[in-house]
């Protein structure tokens, strides 16, 4: 009888140890090497997202070594998306920058055969807002000036944006073209690879209007290298943006909020995916991260793991409807 009880106790203990070992075997450790892939040239929003993630993760010691940042331009993230799905689907150390613009292009089928279900969405790092900018010496001083002048002669205003027709930047100007009673599909629009290329084209005089994101343009605005006419927001933004008027203030009920976040490949294990999710949760409230986020002109946007995946899929559905209304 005693022997039976001892045997049962030992069996129970062995089962507990086995379960613990199994759990330990499935728990993911920090990847030996981390990398963030930006799907455009350096200087744009994807680059900003990767550098924010890398700087904050290293500052908080949530990763041991600095995160590498690599670039793969093409289709404003489409080439990178297809590369990850097809070539590096199980790379647990690789995260890829994305934005609500990625959701917009996926909604229009511009990422090829892969839809929003092709990757695993990790989380958002912050929120941004669309902006419209001109050269510092432009005679256009306000958004109302721009809409009035554009309505009289749309052909006199070449526009640059980070992406093709139907992209976020195209949509921003399409909404303003409608306010000017002009056909959005007849805009003189230059499709450029990312925000860095857009601001370079504006400073070089190759375009007269730049559609982009607040975080990409605020430093150049402060340096007097371009002038932001409006932030596409209902309420004026704080901090570095407190003196820049919004679209709503200038009489146009147009806003364009933008999330910036990360995804991983479709074959990354649950354990490795959860490591990234848990790491972002630890990161988001740290003083180091908040400082890095604010330095890049981003605002808090809490959406991680399952919540973020739901957000992306909701946005894709909404953008499909918006594209239809724009005649795309």
Q: What's the pLDDT band for 2 if we cut at 50, 70, 90?
A: very low
Segment 39-79, tens digit of pLDDT: 998 988 899 999 999 999 999 999 999 999 999 999 889 99
pLDDT over 90, % of the chain: 72
What fold does the segment set 129-241 form as a domain?
Answer: D-Maltodextrin-Binding Protein; domain 2 (3.40.190)
The full set of domain ranges for the chain reads: 35-127+257-325, 129-241
pLDDT at 16 over 60: no
Check if 35-127+257-325 and 129-241 are the same fold.
Answer: yes
- Predicted model pTM: 0.74
DSSP conformation class of 29: P
Task: Go through the chain and tell me how many residues it has.
Answer: 328
pLDDT at 168 over 90: no
Strand 120-134 to 257-264 pairing: antiparallel
pLDDT at 303 over 70: yes
**Sign of the torsion angle spanned by Cα atoms 71, 76, 79, 85:** positive
Mean pLDDT of 170-193: 91
Distance of CA 328 to the CA centre of its chain: 22
**Nearest CA to 161 among 229, 212, 105, 111?**
212
What fold does the segment set 35-127+257-325 form as a domain?
Answer: D-Maltodextrin-Binding Protein; domain 2 (3.40.190)
């Amino acid at each position: 009888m005693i022997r039976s009880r001892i045997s049962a106790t030992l069996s129970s203990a062995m089962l507990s140890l086995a379960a613990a070992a199994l759990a330990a075997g499935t728990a993911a450790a920090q990847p030996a090497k981390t990398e963030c892939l930006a799907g455009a040239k350096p200087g744009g929003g994807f680059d900003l997202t990767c550098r924010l993630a890398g700087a904050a993760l290293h500052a908080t010691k949530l990763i041991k070594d600095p995160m590498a940042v690599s670039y793969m331009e093409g289709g404003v993230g489409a080439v990178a998306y297809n590369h990850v799905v097809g070539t590096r689907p199980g790379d647990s150390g690789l995260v890829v920058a994305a934005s609500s613009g990625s959701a917009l292009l996926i909604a229009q089928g511009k990422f090829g055969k892969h839809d929003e279900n092709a990757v695993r969405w990790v989380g958002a790092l912050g929120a941004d807002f669309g902006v419209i900018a001109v050269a510092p010496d432009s005679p256009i001083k306000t958004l109302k000036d721009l809409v009035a002048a554009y309505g009289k002669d749309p052909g006199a205003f070449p526009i640059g944006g980070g992406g093709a027709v139907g992209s976020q930047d195209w949509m921003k100007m399409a909404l303003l073209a409608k306010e000017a009673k002009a056909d959005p599909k007849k805009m003189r629009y230059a499709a450029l690879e990312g925000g860095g290329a857009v601001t370079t084209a504006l400073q070089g005089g190759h375009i007269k209007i730049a559609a982009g994101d607040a975080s990409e343009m605020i430093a150049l605005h402060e340096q007097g290298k371009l002038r932001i006419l409006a932030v596409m927001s209902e309420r004026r933004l704080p901090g570095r943006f407190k003196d820049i008027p919004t679209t709503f203030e200038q009489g146009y009920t147009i806003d364009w909020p933008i999330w910036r976040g990360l995804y991983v490949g479709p074959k990354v294990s649950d354990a490795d995916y959860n490591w990234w999710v848990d790491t972002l949760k630890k990161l988001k409230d740290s003083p180091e991260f908040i400082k890095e986020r604010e330095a890049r002109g981003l605002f808090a946007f809490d959406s991680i793991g399952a919540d973020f995946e739901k957000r992306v899929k909701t946005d894709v559905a909404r953008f499909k409807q918006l594209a239809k209304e724009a005649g795309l």
